[in-house]
Structure 1
Amino acid sequence: MILFKTIKTPYVDTWYDYSKTATFKSGGRWNSAGIAAMYTSTNPQNAMLELGNYCSSPKMANTLYKLLIFEVKELRLFEVDVTQLPSNWDRKPHGGACSTIGDRVLSDVNYDGLLIPSATINKDAATHPVNSVRKAAYANVVMNISHMDETDMRVIDVCSPVFSTQMFSAKK
């Protein structure tokens, strides 16, 4: 399986040390503090789109981040069904409903992680009644990497810049 993640440049070589991440220390949308979680995407576009939560411009992203490409063993993923999504799953602050689901799955040794929709995608697309439309929005994989060792997952490439220099360069 191939997965993608944008990561701040100083942490490219220490990506596996989840205990030092803000997600582990403070929690994230799909995990509480103290639950190991690594947020990745099934395609590079979604990994890049997720940066919109942290950066105000592609130029800033290109300065501060790199795009990592991972090769990962086949994962046992729990797909959060659209009917299981909490009503506020796509909002900030995200509250505890998402992390309750995530904590349960990430703590279960029968799963390696969750397959979830991206909160950066339009909610109507992510919850669309047509399965193929909805599946396209389910592009995030949240893994508990404490269930894995370093041989289960490896970086196969580091890409920079994250965004093409042509992005947002239209003349006004």
Structure 2
Amino acid sequence: MGYSEQRLMIEFLQIFIIIGLTAWVFAVNLKIPNSKVTLMHKSIELRIACIFLCAFLLIFTFNNYGTSRANNELKFILSGKVELLEINNNPFDNADALVYSLKNMCNPPAHHSHTTNNLQLTIKTDNKLFQLGLQRDSKNPHEYWIFFPAFSRGVIGYICTSALDSF
């Protein structure tokens, strides 16, 4: 199972959890045996906790949805023939290596670093003209964080390449 399929399954699971918790929170017919009071009326704290959990999962799901949408759009755009590749408005000669890295973008384990060098990448294919933000990792000089501002506010993936060493 590929990375995109795993991410899609996680999103569907989150949506089902949100729907289930929401239905459970607002269910009024849950009765405690030998009692005339519903479970929800007895435990307002439980209901509030479930509402906050649903809100958190909803925010997390929509954030993942934006990242997945950005990844899918980037893969579609890069499936076309690259006509122009610029970094910081300067032509870039080693386009094939960079495009290959972008097509094979991944999510490595977290290593508690930050970004240092910001590069503006412009790519024109027969499918579209678009811009990406690439930011070099502070601990691994060959790792770059990928940002696609048109679709997501956060990081959409990471690449490891030596094609950008001159920047």
TM-score, normalised on structure 1? 0.25
Name the structure where helix makes up a greater proportion of residues: 2
TM-score, normalised on structure 2? 0.25
Indicate the structure (1 or 2) with the bigger Cα radius of gyration. Answer: 2
